[in-house]
Amino acid sequence: MEHRHREVIQLVRRHEHIHPGGPAETMELWQAMDLPMGARVLDLGAGFGGPAHWLRGAGADVVALDLEQANCRRCRGHNPELPMPTVRADAVHLPLADASFDGAIAWCMLGFVPDQVRLLQELGRVLRPGGRFGVDVYTVRDASLYDPGRTPMRYIHSRERWLELIDASPLTLSAEEDLSDQYADAYRKFMVNLKVQIPSLRVRFGREQVADAVTRFSRNVNEVLFGGKGGLRLVCEKPTGSSSQTGRDEAVRTL
């Protein structure tokens, strides 16, 4: 059901950048990372592959990683003439070589990951010294207005807690920006678009599935609009002179 819910959302937005801000935020996060042309970049939680293919168009050498096989297939099939290298794996157990990437990037996926400490350790292992991790995360702004039991994204934190996790990781914070206003604006526009398209979505997916998707997403929207949740952009760097964490050296598997 979760995958179908995401597909409804993707169709309403008419593109495959299903994170708040869409392609514009993909571009802004990439620019904030300031990596050179041809940089080898890991897209964590690549989903349907919109951002991964955008990054490729911007000149990056991209590997897309996702836990769902269906997402990996869709990401590879986005451009049949030039398939995207994909890896089906859990982000806390990366089957990737030490110091093999110049950058990693993620949009709103850390809130789904219980063991964020391990994920950051793994990133510290696969990034080269000087490599950068750019991530957009949801933040808890007012705990009284946020109910983690009503969303699959149960592992989001206050800004202060996110910064503590980065500080305890092999990475160092190099830039941050509050995206709460941008998230709220994006969701207002999204809900207007959603109301217009509900009749056609019911034809494609059925009344019950569309109602479930709208209900679940509306809860998330309300928390953003009324101050329970916000957004934060973080750019982190692996310090030069640091070494990999585990010494594990496995080749990237293209599935």
Taking the C-alpha atoms of residue 216 and residue 161, their distance in angstroms, rounded to an integer, is: 26
4 falls in which pLDDT band (50, 70, 90)? low
- Residue 85 predicted with pLDDT over 80: yes
> Residue 61 in contact with residue 81, Cβ under 8 Å?
no
Percent of all residues in the chain with a pLDDT value above 90, rounded to a whole number: 55
Say what the pTM is: 0.85
Beta bridge partners of 62: 41
178 in a domain, yes or no? Answer: yes
Looking up residue 24, the CATH number of its domain turns out to be 3.40.50.150
Q: Is residue 139 part of a domain?
A: yes
pLDDT digits over 163-222, tens only?
A: 999 999 999 999 999 999 999 998 888 888 778 878 887 887 788 878 877 777 788 788
Q: How confident is the model at residue 242 (pLDDT cuts 50, 70, 90)?
A: low
Q: Is 62 a member of any domain?
A: yes
Domains of the chain: total: 1
Average pLDDT of the segment spanning 112-118: 95
Range of the domain at 174: 2-237
Tokens 């708040």 -> residue: 20
Residue 246 pLDDT exceeds 50: no
Single-letter code of the amino acid located at 40: R
Length of the chain (residues): 255
What is the model's pLDDT at position 248?
Answer: 39
Asked if residue 55 is part of any domain, the answer here is yes
Residue 8 has pLDDT above 80, yes or no: no
Residues 95, 250: contact at Cβ < 8 Å? yes
DSSP state at residue 141: S
**Is residue 110 domain-resident?**
yes
138, part of any domain: yes
Confidence label for 162 from pLDDT (cuts 50, 70 and 90): very high
Residue type, 196: V
* Dist CA 11 CA 161 (whole Å): 34
Which residue pairs, CB below 8 angstroms and at least 24 apart, start in 145-148?
145/223, 145/226, 145/227, 145/228, 145/229, 146/223, 146/228, 146/229, 147/219, 147/223, 147/228
Query: Is residue 252 in some structural domain?
Result: no
Residue 250: inside a domain, yes or no? no
